[in-house]
Amino acid sequence: MTSNIFSQKDQDFADAMATKLRLNREKLKQTLTTDEKINQFTPKQKEEIGEFRLSIIREGLEEFPDLDLKDALQKLEEFGG
């Protein structure tokens, strides 16, 4: 019986830590500059995206600072950019 309680406490702790890490990452994303966000793409990703599309994403990030990079890229592809 003790192992079940210990196991549940471990799971609760792991869940709490995962939530804390997620919230910290979300807060960090909000404090990054536009260029820091763009630099999260790898050089290969930047090459595949292209300078023109990166400039559109950069403008979008400046206008909407909370915009997620993946969302911006997905929206750009949906609109045929």
Tell me, what's the pLDDT at 1? 47
Distance between CA atoms of residues 30 and 67, nearest Å: 9
Give 72: exposed, middle or buried? Use CB within 10 Å, 0-12, 13-18, 19+: buried
Tell me, what's the pLDDT at 81? 59
Task: Give per-residue pLDDT as tens, 66-79.
Answer: 888 888 888 888 88
Tokens of 68: 């997620």
Q: Residue ranges per domain, the chain?
A: 1-31, 33-81
Task: Give per-residue pLDDT as tens, 14-73.
Answer: 999 999 999 988 787 777 888 888 888 899 999 999 999 999 999 988 898 888 888 888
Alpha helices in the chain (DSSP H): 2-31, 34-38, 43-49, 51-63, 69-78
